[in-house]
Structure 1
Amino acid sequence: MSDALLDVRDLVVRYGDATAVDHVSFTLAPGETLALNGPSGCGKSSTALAVLQLRRPASGEVRFEGQELTTLSEPELRPIRPRMQPVFQDPYGSLSPRHRIRDAVAEPLRIQGRRPTPDQVAELLDRVGLDPAYGDRRPHELSGGQCQRAGIARALACEPHLLVLDEPVSSLDPSIRAGVLNLLADLQDDLGLGYLFICHDRAVVRRFADRVMEMRDGRVISG
């Protein structure tokens, strides 16, 4: 698909002699949510890591906005990384306990050599439904849902086109989970983001995703 945001072909990921992802292919359009669904250990997260090039695949292609990523060196990937950002399962583990929330949200911009202003950070926190005053707090002073919102604000800092959401609500209470999913839906509508949504919960997948790809034992079995 020439107009695909993400085009993955025959992706293989190995850990030693074990094959975690076995010739997986899919596409994702701009503004679309594709869910990878399946039990623990089926290869969902390994697929996500390979898409982000945080785990280099053994073979296959990962094209992001038309550019093949698997052949690029780390310096060549650096200018592309801001446009594809992860949001991880553990809202506390994804934020440094030593940093205030405002510094965690601003960090991706600093890595890119930019100097974020307090107003920019406040705007990012407000966009994800957090009072900007929470920027002065550290992760342990926030709830799990608030920390996950801060993680989403951090992912949005570099204005990505793709979010790879790896079980982003599985550790949250059901009432908090609904609020975070609603936030993600609103952000997608407002910003046109594409979501690769890794989830094992069928009820969440049915509600949230445009398409579902079922995985078992590293392979796609439907979708």
Structure 2
Amino acid sequence: MSDALLDVRDLVVRYGTVTAVDHVSFTVDAGETLALNGPSGCGKSSTIAAVLQLRRPEGGEVRFEGRELTTLAERELRPLRPRMQPVFQDPYGSLSPRHRIRDAVAEPLKVQGRWNTADGPARVAELLDRVGLDPAYGDRFPHELSGGQCQRAGIARALASEPRLLVLDEPVSALDPSIRAGVLNLLADLQDELNLAYLFICHDRAVVRHFADRSIEMRAGRLVPA
């Protein structure tokens, strides 16, 4: 049995008669960045949905921290979900426009029963500071932040769950080129500090070469030689 943090074996995802992911296998070790590269429509999004168990695959295994996820009931998955957190492509779409940033970052703590009024606000301020945001930005709404600031808030929200794996779904492709490097540098620093593993979805080969430890490439639902 693999000792990888994430071990995906022969993953199959279908939509009716269409096979979106066709026997895809890969591993991600603790503290490692694996890039999943490929053009739009190649199956990347379906792969990560199955990894996160947002969609149940039709075949294969997804092992996280040694546990096979695809056979678990939702109540059994619930304690594991905080350990695998997504960061989405659209920084504005990933946060509710009706919630202030502080409330968005606090929400995972409240859902997981780890919020209390004594130290909760300080924890939110700490998370915002960790991603390079002035804690005063917690009073703002997403539309009052720049794209880069909003993506940093989304990263802070993901970190609130104290994950071991972040699934980074094109996390800088919607940002201005001048801002991308700062967000990537932040992610690299967080990985060093927290020993995070990243499954990094990206179509930009230059970014992949700079940021990832390893890369795999998908075409038409299958892995192909990079």
> TM-score under structure 2 normalisation?
0.97
CA distance in 1, matches of 2:18, 2:91: 29
SS in 2 for 1:23: strand
Deviation, 1:53, is: 0.2
Structure-1 residue corresponding to 2:110: 110
Residues 1:139 and 2:118 aligned together: no
CA distance in 2, matches of 1:119, 1:102: 10
- Structure 1, residues 25-71: CA drift from partner, whole Å, max 9, x if none? 00110000000001000011111110000011011000001000000
Structure-2 residue corresponding to 1:172: 175
> Which of 205, 212, 216 is 1:213 aligned to?
216
**Which amino acid is the alignment partner of residue 205 of structure 2?**
R
Structure-1 residue corresponding to 2:185: 182
Residues 1:22 and 2:25 aligned together: no
CA distance in 2, matches of 1:47, 1:54: 10
SS in 2 for 1:165: strand
Structure-2 residue corresponding to 1:222: 225
Q: How does 1:121-132 map to 2 (within 5 A)?
A: 121-132=124-135
- Structure 1, residues 131-188: CA drift from partner, whole Å, max 9, x if none? 0000000000000000000000000001000000000000001110000000000000
Q: CA RMSD in A?
A: 0.8
CA distance in 2, matches of 1:145, 1:16: 38
Q: How does 1:32-43 map to 2 (within 5 A)?
A: 32-43=32-43
SS in 2 for 1:183: helix
Number of matched residues?
223
Q: How does 1:87-102 map to 2 (within 5 A)?
A: 87-102=87-102
Structure-2 residue corresponding to 1:149: 152
**Which amino acid is the alignment partner of residue 174 of structure 1?**
P
Q: Which runs of 4+ in 1 moved over 6 A?
A: none
Structure-2 residue corresponding to 1:160: 163
Deviation, 1:2, is: 3.1
SS in 2 for 1:120: helix
SS in 2 for 1:85: strand
SS in 1 for 2:143: helix
CA distance in 1, matches of 2:16, 2:106: 37
**Which amino acid is the alignment partner of residue 106 of structure 2?**
A
Q: How does 1:44-55 map to 2 (within 5 A)?
A: 44-55=44-55
- Return 5+ residue gaps in structure 1 as ranges: none
Structure-1 residue corresponding to 2:2: 2
Residues 1:62 and 2:62 aligned together: yes
CA distance in 2, matches of 1:3, 1:72: 20
Structure-2 residue corresponding to 1:204: 207
SS in 2 for 1:177: helix
Deviation, 1:115, is: 1.1
**Which amino acid is the alignment partner of residue 179 of structure 1?**
G
- Structure 1, residues 57-93: CA drift from partner, whole Å, max 9, x if none? 0110000010000000111100000000000000000
CA distance in 2, matches of 1:103, 1:219: 40
